[in-house]
Structure 1
Amino acid sequence: MKRIYYLVFISLGLLIGACQEVEKDIAIDINATRLHIEDRLFIDHHGRQVLLNGVNLVNKKPEEGYIGPEGVEEFRSFRKWGFNVIRLGVIWDGLEPEPGVYNEEYLKKIDEQVKWAEDNNLFVFLDMHQDLFSVKFSDGAPEWATLDEGEEHITGAVWSDSYLISSAVQKSWDNFWANKPVSDGMGVQDHYADAVQHLAKRYADNPTVIGFDIMNEPFAGTDAKMFMPVLFSAYAKVVSEKTNEEVSAMDVAKMWENTGNRYEALQLVNDKESFAKVMDAVYELNSVFEKGVLQSFYQKVADAVREVSQDKMLFFNHSYFCNSGVYTALKPFKLSNGEVDRNVVYAAHGYDLLVDTDNLSDSSDDRLELIFERINESGQRMNVPVLIGEWGALGHETPGRTELAHRNLSLFEKYLFNNTYWAYHKGTEQYSYFKYGVIRPFPSEIAGTLLSYKYNIKANSFSCKWQEKAEVKAPTRIYIPVFENVSTNSVKILPESDAYKFVKNDEGKGGYLVIQPQGQEQVREVKFTILPNCEATMD
C-alpha cells in the first residue's frame, strides 16, 4: 500500500524540483563553528541553536587495535544521513597500555577519524568507554589497572549481569574508587585522570572535538550487591498489591535468572506508577554512590581537563542503575574559583530493562516515558544541556525494532533532546530501524531557539516551531533524508515567506530545507507533508 501511495505521490507532480530549485550543498567550515553552551543549548558561531543528532562509533576489540573497519566512506555517509555529531569511543587499554605510556599509534588512528569527521562537518566528543570495567572481562581498563585481587569472574544470562554477580568486576571497581596504587605506586584513578588530560591536551585547539565523555556507565562496585535485593523486594511488593497474591523477593530473583522469565516479570510493571515505585526503591542507595565517590571522581577528571582546556565540554553520564529510570543525584562540576562549570553536558543513557534480550521490541512505552521524563527533569535541576548518549541498541533485523526507534525518538522530540544512537557498525545501514527510524527529518540548526518539532509518521507530516532572533542572520536548516518524499505544494512557512530553498547534499537523495530569517524577534513555523522514507532512503 505504501508503494502505491508513493507512486501516486510522484504522479501528482508534487515532488521537489517541480516548483523549487534543488541546489548543491555548500560546505560549512567547521573551524568556524566551534560550539558553546548558552542557557542549556548548543550554540554555533552564527548564534544559532544546534540540535546534535548522531551515532556512537566504538570498537571494543583489542585484536583490531580498538579501531573498526569504518573508514572515510562511512563518515561521508554519516553526513549524507544528516548526522552532525559522533560519540567516538576511546578504550583506556588502547590509550595507555602501560602505566604512564600512551599509545601514539592508537592516537594517530583517532586523529584520522577526527579528520574524517572534520572533512564531513561532523562534531566529535571522545567517549572513555568501558563495559564491566576492564579488558579482562569485556572492555575498558588495561590489565595493569584491573585490581580484581584474584576474585572470580561470573557471567549471567545477559552480558551486563556480570556487574551484579561477578566479584572480580565489583572488586576492580572498588579499588578504582579507592584509588588503590598500581605497580608504579600511583593511584589507578589518578592514572585515569591523567589519561583524559592527555586527550584534552592533544585536542585542545581542535574545534571538531567539542569535548570528552568522562566515563561510560560508571558502576558502584561491591556496594551494588545491596541494590538488587531492594529492587526485588520493591517489585514483589508492587506485584503482590496488584495481583492480591503473595510474591517474595526470592521469587522475583529466580525469575530474573533467565531472559524469558525476566520478560514475563516485567509485564507486571508496564505502567509508570508501578515501575516508578520499583526504581525509587534504590534511589537512596544509588545517591550515596553518586554523591560520594562518583561526584569526587568526576570533579578530579574535570580539574585535570580544565588545567589544559577551558572551553572543551565535559560530558558526564549517570550511574549504571540510572539507565533504566532511577533519578540521578549528580551535580555539575565546579571550577577552581568555586563557581559552577557551565560548560558541561548531562550525557544520559536510556534503556528499557529488556535491552539486550530477544524481547526488546516489547519495551514498555510507560517505562520509556518514565526514563526520559526523569532524565529531562534532572537536566533541568542541574541547569545543563541534555544529550542522550546512548539509546536503542536495536541489534539486527528484528520485527518491531523500527517502531521502537520511532517510540524513542518521539520522546526525544517531546523533550528536545540531543542524541547519539547506540551504535553504528559497518553494515548497520542495512537494517530497517536505521534506514527508516534513526535516519529521519529534524531541525539541525535553528536561527533562534527551538520550541517544538514533530515527525508524525502515521500522518505523513513534519512540523517545527522556533523563536527566531533578530540578530541571527544565518538560516534555519531542516534535514530531509529524501527530497522525493516531500510535497513542495504542502510547504507552509509562518509568517509567510518564499525565502527558502532545498539544498542538496553532495551525495545522497536528500539534504536541507533552508529557511532564511526575517530579521526580527518572532515565532516562526514550518509544516510540510512527507512520506515515510520507503525504498528511496538509501543509495
Structure 2
Amino acid sequence: MNTTGHSRQVRGRAAVAVSMLLGLLATLALPQAAAVAGQPVHPHGATEIATPLRVDGERIRDAEGRDVVLRGISVINKRDPFYPDVDASDFRRIRDLGLNHIRLGISWEGIMPEEGEVDPGYLREIRRIVRDAGRGGLLVILDMHQDLYGGPRGNGAPDWAYRPSGCPHIELAEPTGAWAANYASPEVNCAFTRFWLSSTLQGYYTDAWMAMAEAVGGEPNVIGYDLMNEPWQGYIPPVLFESRYLYPSQARWLEAIREADPNGIGFVEPNVLKSVTMASPPPAGMLPDNSVYSPHLYGPWDFTSEIEILQETRRLADVNFAASRKEAASAGVPLWLGEWGVFTTATGAADYVTHVYDMVDDALAGTAIWEYGDSAYSPFDTETWEPSPLYDPVLRAYPEAVPGTLRDIDYDAERRTLDLAWSGGEGGVALLRAPAERYPEGVAVSGTDQWRWDPRRGLVMAEVPAGDGTLAVTPVGP
C-alpha cells in the first residue's frame, strides 16, 4: 500500500473539510436572508459536502456524518481523445442546474493505448478535468466506460484487447434502429467472453484502474469509481456470470484501486440486462465493503427519438426501478441510479424526467442523468447551450446533506416546494439544493429559525438540532 500517498490524501481532504466548516459557520452568523452581494464561495470553489464519503449501511455519509444525496450528470466522450472537452463554464452550468457531481467517463483505450503501456498524458488530462470540476464545486465519480466492449462498432477496450477470435459480425443495429442490438452479434459476444476468461486481459484492466486511481485518487472531490459501464456476459450463462465473473472481478478492481485511494467508494454495476427491465440481484455477500449498487434504467423509449412515452411505457420503468430498490435493499447498500435518460424530442420526455426524479426521491437514492454533451439527451442544446426540453424538469430542489438519516424527500415540481424529514443525528448544518433559477424571488424555509440561502450557489444552509427533524423550502412570490 502507498502509505505516503494515503497520508497526503487524508490531509488534503481534511483541509477541505475544515475550510468548508469555517465557511458554513460564517454564513450562518448572517441573518436569514438571501446572500449578501459579493459574498465569496468556499475557497477554490470547494464542494460543500465534506469528503471523503463513506457507505453506512444503505446510506452514504460525508466526513461530518451527514446523510448525502448525490444528484449529477454523466460527462463523457467515447471517441479519441477519450475525455470530454469541458472547462469552468461547463461546470458552472452544471452547478447552476442544481447538480452536485459528475460521472466522468474515462476509457481503457485512453489509459492504455498500447498493450501494458499507460499514457501519462491521458492521466494528466483527466486529473485536470477533475481539478477543474472541484474548483467548480462538483464531486466526481470516475466511470470506466464501454459499449459493445470496443472494436470497430464499440468503444472502451483498446484495439489490442479486442479479441473476438474470428467470430463473425452480424450487423443487427442498422436494421433494428437500436445500436444495442449488436450485443447479440457473435463478434461482440466472443470479445466479451474472451475478456472475462482471460487473466491477462483482466490484469491489464486492473492495471489501468490502478494507474487512474494513482493519478486522481488524492483529489478531494473524487469520491468513487464506477468499475465498468454496463458489463455484458458474452456467452457465459447468467447466474454463473454474476457469481463467478462479474462481481468477483469488480471486487478485485476495487481492491487494486484502494491501494491508491483507500477511501474510494465502489459503484458496482449489474449485468447490462438490468438496464432493460431484467432483474439481476447481486449474489448474497458479493458486494465489496464501502460500495454502492449502481444499475441503469432504460427501455423501449431508448430505441428511437420518435417514440411517445405513454403511461404504459412508463410502467416498465416503474417495474425496473422497483426491482433496483429491492436489490439494493437486499444487499444492504445504497442505491445510485448511475445512468438513465430519454431523447429530448420524444413526446412526454419532460414528464418522464420528472417521474424518474420523483421515484428517486421516494427511494432516497442518488442518480446521474445521461448526458451533458449529447444533444439528443442533454438538458442543453449543445450547439447554443440554451436549455433543452429536459432542462426544466432537472432543475429542482433536493436535500444534499442532512444530519441524521433521511426518511422522506418530497419535491412538488408544480408548486416548487421541498419537504424532507430525517431521524436521529447529532444536529448541525443541513445543506439543501435550491437552484436560483427555480426560485428567482427567493426562498422561505420552515423547520428552523437559523438558515440562509445563497443564490449564487443555489444552496440553503440550515442549522438543525439533534434528533428527528423536518424542513420545508417554499418559493417567495408567485
Q: TM-score, normalised by structure 1?
A: 0.74
User: What is aligned with 2:60?
Assistant: 42
> Where does residue 18 of structure 2 map in the other structure?
none
Match of 2:418 in 1: 462
In structure 2, the residue matched to 1:390 is 339
Q: Name the SS for the 2:453 alignment partner.
A: strand
CA distance in structure 1 between the partners assigned to 2:168 and 2:159 by the alignment: 15
SS of the aligned residue for 1:222 comes to coil
Q: CA deviation at 1:170?
A: 0.7
Structure-2 separation of matches of 1:439 and 1:104: 37
State the partner residue of 1:500.
451
Whether the aligned pair in 1 keeps the contact of 2:445 and 2:473 (CA below 8 Å) is yes
Does the aligned pair in 2 maintain the 1:46–1:474 contact within 8 Å?
A: no
Contact 1:59 1:68 in 2 (8 A): yes
Contact 1:477 1:514 in 2 (8 A): yes
Q: Considering only CA atoms, is the larger Rg found in Structure 1 or Structure 2?
A: 1
* C-alpha distance in structure 2 between counterparts of 1:371 and 1:396, whole Å: 21
Task: Identify if the C-alpha distance between structure 1 residues 42 and 486 changes in structure 2 by more than 3 Å, giving closer, same or farther.
Answer: farther
- Residue 407 of structure 2 is matched in structure 1 by 451
Distance 1:458 1:81 in 2: 17
Q: Which of 186, 203, 209 does residue 196 from structure 1 map onto?
A: 209
Q: Output the amino acid matched with 2:267.
A: F
CA contact under 8 A between 2:34 and 2:442: conserved in structure 1? Answer: no
Please name the residue that 1:515 is paired with.
462
Structure 2: distance between partners of 1:206 and 1:115: 7
The one-letter code sitting in structure 1 at the alignment partner of 2:329 is Q
CA shift for structure 1 position 110: 0.6
Aligned match of 2:428: 473
1:100 CA displacement: 1.1
In the aligned structure 1, how far is the partner of 2:144 from the partner of 2:90?
22
| Corresponding residue to 2:244 among 285, 288, 292 | 292
Deviation of the 1:527 alpha carbon: 4.5
Counterpart-to-counterpart distance in 1, 2:455 and 2:402: 18
Q: Cα gap change, 1:32/1:443 in structure 2, threshold over 3 Å: closer, same or farther?
A: closer
How far did 1:189 drift?
Answer: 1.5
Secondary structure of the residue that 2:428 maps to in structure 1?
A: coil
State the partner residue of 2:182: 162
- Picking from 240, 256, 264, the partner of 1:304 is 256
Deviation at 1:207, TM superposition (A): 2.0
Distance 1:391 1:499 in 2: 37
Counterpart AA for 2:303: D
Distance in 2 separating the partners of 1:385 and 1:32: 18
Post-superposition offset of 1:531: 9.0
Partner of 2:23: none
Q: Deviations over 1:275-308 (max 9, x none)?
A: xxxxxxxxxx632321122123223323322344
TM-superposed CA distance for 1:176, in Å, is 0.7
Which of 398, 409, 412 is the matching residue for 2:357? 409
Alpha-carbon deviation of 1:85?
1.0
Pairwise CA distance, 1:126: 0.8
Q: Does 1:524 align with 2:475?
A: no
Q: Secondary structure at the match of 1:364?
A: helix
Query: 5+ unaligned residues in a row in structure 2: which ranges?
Result: 1-31, 381-385
Measure how far apart 1:426 and its partner are. 6.7
Q: Is the 8 A contact 2:404 2:468 kept in 1?
A: no
Indicate how the Cα distance of structure 1 residues 215 and 444 shifts in structure 2: closer, same or farther if over 3 A, else same: same
Q: Distance in 2 between matches of 1:122 and 1:386?
A: 20
Whether the 8 Å CA contact 2:60–2:67 is kept in 1: the answer is yes
More helix by share: 1
SS at match of 2:254: helix
Superposition map of 1:72-221 within 5 A: 72-153=88-169, 154-156=171-173, 157=176, 158-164=178-184, 166-179=185-198, 187-221=200-234
SS in 2 for 1:455: strand
Residues 388-424 of structure 1: CA deviation (Å, up to 9, x unaligned) = 10011x2334432111101111111111110011111
Aligned to 1:13: none
* Structure 1 letter corresponding to 2:78: K
1:344 corresponds to 2:269: no
TM-score normalised to structure 2 length: 0.83
Q: Which amino acid aligns with 2:368?
A: T
The alignment partner of 1:440 has SS state of coil
SS in 1 for 2:157: coil
Are the equivalent residues in 1 in contact too, given 2:314–2:352 (CA < 8 A)? no
* Deviation larger for 312-321 or 425-434: 425-434
**Residues 166-217 of structure 1, C-alpha deviations (whole Å, 9 max, x = no match):** 111011011111106xxxxxx1121111111221222332221112111111
Counterpart secondary structure, 2:396: coil
Which of 338, 360, 379 aligns to 2:328? It is 379
Instruction: Give the letter for the 1:401 counterpart.
Output: A
Counterpart Cα distance in 1 of 2:189 and 2:477 = 50
CA contact (8 A) 1:299 1:333 kept: no
Instruction: Specify whether residues 162 and 108 from structure 1 end up closer, same or farther in structure 2 by C-alpha distance, changes over 3 A only.
Output: same
Change (3 A) 1:94 1:530: farther
> Structure 1 residues 20 and 487 mapped into 2: Cα distance closer, same or farther (>3 Å)?
same
Q: 1:332 to 1:347 in 2, by over 3 A?
A: farther
Aligned length in residues? 428
> Which amino acid letter does the alignment assign opposite residue 199 of structure 1?
M
Change (3 A) 1:461 1:308: closer
Closer, same or farther: CA 69–202 of 1 in aligned 2, 3 Å: closer
The whole-number CA distance in structure 1 between the counterparts of 2:243 and 2:297 is 20
In structure 2, the CA distance between the partners of 1:521 and 1:324, relative to structure 1 (3 Å rule), is: same
Q: What CA distance in whole angstroms lies between the structure 2 residues aligned with 1:396 and 1:435?
A: 10
> What amino acid sits opposite 1:479 in the alignment?
A
Cα RMSD, aligned residues only: 2.5
Instruction: Check whether the contact 2:242–2:283 (CA below 8 A) recurs between aligned residues.
Output: no
For the 8 Å contact 1:405–1:433, the answer to whether it is kept is: no
Cα distance between partner residues in 2 of 1:418 and 1:476: 15
Deviation at 1:326, TM superposition (A): 2.1
Partners of 1:162 and 1:314 lie apart in 2 by 28
Measured after TM superposition, the shift of residue 67 of structure 1 is 2.3
- The answer for the alignment partner of 1:437 in structure 2 is 393
Deviation at 1:529, TM superposition (A): 4.7
In 2, Cα distance between the equivalents of 1:302 and 1:333? Answer: 16
Distance in structure 2 (CA, Å) of the matches to 1:387 and 1:448: 19
Counterpart residue identity of residue 96, structure 1: M
Give the distance between the partners of 2:143 and 2:428, measured in 1 at CA: 34
